[in-house]
Each structure stands twice: as structure tokens, then as C-alpha cells.
């Protein structure tokens, strides 16, 4: 019987690799099968200020102790010979869109998953794809040939397992791992519960309250107990722990009409002060509204979510307005009211602002970046994901909003990064 193999391909050190690949002085030395041939290179917001933070680093820089989100000063102490470059988000986004096209050309059933990750699927066994590992190898080689970027591929009977296999592939020299049903007890179950993708805080609850140390331990918990503790999520956890997942491929994930715009920030420390939180909220709202306007949309509902420190929870509340807007000033009083009504004074770890119930702004002619509307929508999704990934950096700026220099820089940055 023909089944399906699902793949997840993930670019290695994406932004840093794009930079290394685009510089002729490094290009000739780099080898596809040896990441130590990369230059020690760091992409950092604002290299002039040593307070900038590391957004990406090549494998040799990482081997020297540099890690993402590290302060640049500290990174340079660990790797003094590193080349430090400013992020070029425009180049990364363009490369991302081109990589997604490449994956789709090889695997017609394809789903962009993030800026540098894509799911794909193919029937197996089949004439076109007789050997899944060889197909993954061809994909890797194609991406290297076209973009000079290394990638890793996880293959499995479903998307969730493909994601898990992809993580294991990082430890494999050839960067490809194929798991079948038979690998679930031997490969999946021994992994620590914290490696279960998609659980976030729930993994800690599984560990603390159920004593589950490994994914196999989770698989042994009766489903009804998981449902008792996690509600509908209990069933999902139960299925995942047994290596099952029936989420479908969504090839239109990027082309879908905008359902809403949101922006979230994880704070560098817990915020207890209303004014500080209010400043962050305004920053977020500014970003969300700028994107609404670029997309030619207005929204009628505004939402605020706060995540409290520790396991304290938080809240997510929204207010529907009589008219639609796309300016921060129009939404701001309403999110402030949500804050005052629902915030219990707990330390705040993360803040998210969202606008949805969208309507097209039909009576205004929009200046758009791209003539092609579909391309624009697709890019705006990629763009959202870049922002999701770089929330922390955006916040560094928000938290130090007051110094005038920071404010002046803002207009030149996207998501806290230079274009
Ligand atoms: Mg990656």
C-alpha cells in the first residue's frame, strides 16, 4: 500500500549562512559537507553599539561559544576574530521566498512553515520517489547549489514526527534522518519530555505533575488523565507521544488571506509597572498598525494578551469596536482599558497585541511594495515570522524607548533590524 512520507527541511544558521554565501571572500572556501569551512561570522543588530545582540552566527562562531540572543560584547570576547555584519532582512526574506519556491518545485505538496523551514510530502513507495533519503539528499544538494546554504531534513510518517526527526538530523553528519513507525519506540520514546515539539509549558507540567521524564513515559499515561489535566490538548499530547499526528499539509499557508495581525514580545525581565507595560503595548500596536496599513486592511477588534512569569498564566482579552481602524491611536485607549480591567498586577513576561476582523481599505489607493498581491501576502507572512522570531530584539528597543537616539533609529529598522 502506498503511504506518504512527510519531510521537514530546515536551513542551517539561515541569516548567517546567507551572509557568508553572499561574500565572495568566503564563498570559495565553503564546502557543503563541512561547516567548519564557514567564516566565523556574526549577524548582530547595531554592530556599532556593543550592546547589540547576536541574531545569528555561523557554526565556527557557535563552536567558539557564540549563541543567538547573546550580547555582542560577550560574543566578541568568546570569538574575537568574528566578522560582524548588520542584518539585511530584505535579502533574507527574498532568499526565503526563493527557497520555498525551490522546495515546491521538487515536492508539489509543500507547506512553508517558517522563514527557513518547509514541510513537504510525497507518496511512498512511488516511481517518482523510490528512495526518500535520496530525495532528501537531492533537495539538500539543490539548495546548496542554488543558495550555498546547508540544510537538514527530517523524514517521517507525519508532520509532527518529521519535525522531531529534523531535530535529530542536526546531530547526523549527513543531516538527514528518516523515521518509520518502527523507530517510534527506539528513537522517539527515549527522548526527554522537554524535546516534545509544540508543548512549551505543558512539558514542565508533564514532568512535575506526571513524573514523565521521557516521551515514552508520556505515551504510558492514559489518555483520560491527560484530558483531565489539559482538556483537548490531552488528546493531542497522547497522540504525539505515540508518534501519531494527522495534521494535513496546508500548501496555501502563506497565501491565505490575512486573518489578523499580531505582534508579541518576550520581555527581558518581568515587568510590574503599568507605564512600562503600556509603552510596550504602544510599540506593538504601532507595528501591527503599520502592517495593517501596508496590507490595505482595517480591523474592528483589538486584543491584548499578557503572559505572567512562572506558571502563573495570564490572560487574553479582546474588544470589538463599532468601526474599523488602522491607526494605533484609535486602538490604544481600548487596549489600555483591557489592561486595567484584566491585569492582576502579576509580573509580566510577554505581551502580545492583535487586531483582527479585517476589512479591505477599499476607498484608498495603496502604495504597495509589490505589484503582485499574492507575493505581497506571502511575504507579509514570512515577515510576521521574522518578527515572531525577533521579538526579543524589538523589545530591547522598546525597553529603552526614552533615549532619543533609539527613537530616531526606529524608522530605519524593521522589527528592530536594519533593512
Ligand atoms: Mg534553521
What is the maximal distance between C-alpha atoms in the chain? 66
pLDDT value for 254? 56
d(CA 115, CA 265): 18
* Backbone φ and ψ of 303, nearest 5°: -125, 155
Q: Residue 55, by phi and psi: left (phi above 0), alpha (psi -120 to 50) or beta? A: alpha
CB 273 within 8 A of CB 347: no
Q: Nearest 5°: CA angle at 396, between 395 and 402?
A: 100
pLDDT at 389: 53
Output the 3-class SS for 339-363.
HHHHCCCCCEEEEEEEEEEEEECCC
Cα of 165 from ligand 1 centre, angstroms: 14
**Per-residue model confidence (pLDDT) at position 47:** 66
Q: Output the CA 359–ligand 1 centroid distance in Å.
A: 34
Task: Report the catalytic residues.
Answer: 117
Query: Worst-scoring range by mean pLDDT, 9-18, 127-136, 291-300?
Result: 291-300
Q: How far is the CA of 116 from the centre of ligand 1 (A)?
A: 5
Mean pLDDT of 386-414: 38
Distance 49 CA to ligand 1 centre (A): 26
Q: Any alpha helices (H) in 259-390, and if so which ranges?
A: 274-294, 328-342, 373-389
Q: What's the rounded Cα separation, in Å, for the pair 182 and 180?
A: 5
pLDDT for the residue 258: 53
- Cα-Cα-Cα-Cα torsion 250, 300, 280, 294, nearest 10 degrees, comes to 60
388 C-alpha to center of ligand 1: Å? 14
Whether residue 286 has pLDDT greater than 80: yes
pLDDT value at 94 more than 60: yes
Can you give the pLDDT at residue 381?
A: 52
**pLDDT over 80 at 313, yes or no:** yes
Beta bridge partners of 356: 260, 301
The confidence band for 20, taking pLDDT boundaries of 50, 70 and 90, is: very high
DSSP 186: I
How far, in Å, from the CA of 206 to the mean position of ligand 1? 27
Pairing type for strands 54-57 and 41-44 reads antiparallel
Q: How many whole angstroms separate alpha carbon 166 and alpha carbon 179?
A: 10
| pLDDT in the model for residue 415 | 40
Lowest mean pLDDT among 29-38, 129-138, 308-317, 333-342: 308-317
| Tens-digit pLDDT profile for residues 226-273 | 999 988 889 989 999 999 998 888 776 554 445 788 888 888 788 888
pLDDT band at residue 4 using 50, 70 and 90 as cut-offs:
very high
Closest among 312, 321, 329, 260 to 291, alpha carbons compared: 260
**Residue 117 alpha carbon to ligand 1 centre in Å:** 7
**Domain 260-413 belongs to what topology?**
Dna Ligase; domain 1 (3.30.1490)
The confidence band for 210, taking pLDDT boundaries of 50, 70 and 90, is very high
CA of 400 to the centre of ligand 1 (A): 29
Q: How many CA atoms lie within 13 A of 310 on its CB side?
A: 3
Domain boundaries, the chain: 3-10+90-184, 14-87, 186-234, 260-413
Query: What is the C-alpha separation between 352 and 332, in angstroms, rounded?
Result: 13
pLDDT at 174: 92
Alpha carbon of 247 to ligand 1 centroid (Å): 22
Assign 413 a pLDDT band (cuts: 50, 70, 90). very low
pTM: 0.64
Residue 408's H or E segment, with its range, is helix 404-410
Interval 356-374 mean pLDDT: 50
Domain 14-87, classified CATH 3.30.70.141, yes or no: no
Span 72-81, average pLDDT: 94
Alpha-carbon distance of 372 to 190, in angstroms, equals 48
Work out the angle at residue 55's Cα, subtended by the Cα atoms of residues 76 and 145, and round it to the nearest 5 degrees: 105
pLDDT at 296 over 90: no
Q: Does domain 3-10+90-184 have CATH number 3.40.50.10490?
A: no
What's CA 350's distance to the chain center, in Å?
Answer: 16
d(C-alpha 65, C-alpha 63), whole Å: 5
Query: 404 or 57: whose pLDDT is higher?
Result: 57
Cα(224)–Cα(130) distance, rounded to whole angstroms?
41
Q: 106-140: per-residue pLDDT in tens?
A: 998 998 888 899 999 999 988 888 999 999 999 99
- Centre of ligand 1 from the C-alpha of residue 362, in Å: 38
Q: What is the pLDDT of residue 385?
A: 53
Which pLDDT does position 201 carry in this prediction?
86
The helix-helix angle for 201-210 and 232-241 (nearest 10°) equals 80
How many angstroms is it from 11 CA to the middle of ligand 1? 4
Instruction: Give me the percent of the chain exceeding a pLDDT of 90.
Output: 49
C-alpha cell at 42: 556574526
Ligand 1 mean position to 17 CA, how many Å? 10
Q: What is the average pLDDT score of the chain?
A: 83
Amino acid at each position: 500500500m502506498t503511504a506518504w512520507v512527510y519531510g521537514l527541511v530546515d536551513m542551517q544558521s539561515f541569516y548567517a549562512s546567507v551572509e557568508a554565501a553572499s561574500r565572495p571572500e568566503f564563498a570559495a572556501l565553503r564546502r557543503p559537507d563541512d561547516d567548519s569551512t564557514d567564516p566565523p561570522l556574526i549577524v548582530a543588530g547595531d554592530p556599532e553599539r556593543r550592546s547589540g545582540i547576536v541574531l545569528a552566527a555561523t557554526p565556527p562562531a557557535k563552536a567558539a561559544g557564540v549563541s543567538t540572543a547573546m550580547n555582542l560584547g560577550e560574543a566578541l570576547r568568546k570569538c574575537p576574530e568574528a566578522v560582524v555584519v548588520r542584518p539585511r532582512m530584505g535579502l533574507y526574506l527574498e532568499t526565503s521566498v526563493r527557497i520555498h519556491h525551490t522546495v515546491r518545485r521538487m515536492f508539489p505538496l509543500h507547506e512553508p512553515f517558517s522563514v527557513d523551514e518547509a514541510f513537504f510530502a510525497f507518496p511512498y513507495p512511488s516511481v517518482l520517489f523510490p528512495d526518500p533519503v535520496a530525495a532528501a539528499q537531492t533537495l539538500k544538494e539543490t539548495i546548496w547549489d542554488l543558495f550555498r546554504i546547508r540544510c537538514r531534513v527530517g523524514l517521517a510518517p507525519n508532520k509532527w514526527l518529521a519535525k522531531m526527526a529534523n531535530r535529530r538530523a542536526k546531530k547526523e553528519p549527513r543531516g538527514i534522518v528518516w523515521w518509520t513507525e518502527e523507530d517510534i519506540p527506539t528513537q522517539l520514546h527515549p527522548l526527554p519530555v522537554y524535546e516534545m515539539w509544540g508543548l512549551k509549558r505543558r512539558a514542565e507540567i508533564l514532568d512535575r505533575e506526571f513524573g514523565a521524564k521521557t516521551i515514552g513515559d508520556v505515551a504510558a499515561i492514559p489518555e483520560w488523565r491527560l484530558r483531565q489535566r489539559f482538556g483537548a490538548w490531552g488528546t493531542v499530547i497522547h497522540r504525539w507521544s505515540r508518534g501519531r499526528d494527522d495534521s494535513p499539509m496546508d500548501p496555501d499557508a502563506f497565501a491565505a488571506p490575512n486573518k489578523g495581525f499580531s505582534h508579541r514580545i518576550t520581555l527581558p525581565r518581568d515587568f510590574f509597572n503599568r507605564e512600562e507595560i503600556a509603552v510596550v503595548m504602544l510599540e506593538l500596536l504601532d507595528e501591527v498598525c503599520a502592517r495593517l496599513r501596508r496590507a490595505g486592511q482595517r480591523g474592528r477588534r483589538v486584543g491584548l494578551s499578557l503572559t505572567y512569569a512562572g506558571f502563573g498564566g495570564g490572560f487574553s482579552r479582546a474588544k470589538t469596536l463599532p468601526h474599523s481602524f488602522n491607526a494605533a491611536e484609535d486602538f490604544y485607549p481600548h487596549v489600555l482599558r483591557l489592561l486595567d480591567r484584566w491585569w492582576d498586577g502579576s509580573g509580566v513576561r510577554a505581551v502580545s497585541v492583535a487586531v483582527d476582523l479585517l476589512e479591505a481599505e477599499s476607498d484608498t489607493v495603496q502604495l504597495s511594495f509589490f505589484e503582485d498581491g499574492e507575493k505581497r501576502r506571502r511575504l507579509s507572512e514570512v515577515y510576521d515570522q521574522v518578527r515572531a522570531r525577533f521579538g526579543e530584539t524589538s523589545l530591547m528597543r522598546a525597553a529603552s524607548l526614552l533615549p532619543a537616539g533609539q527613537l530616531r533609529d526606529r524608522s530605519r529598522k524593521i522589527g528592530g533590524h536594519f533593512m
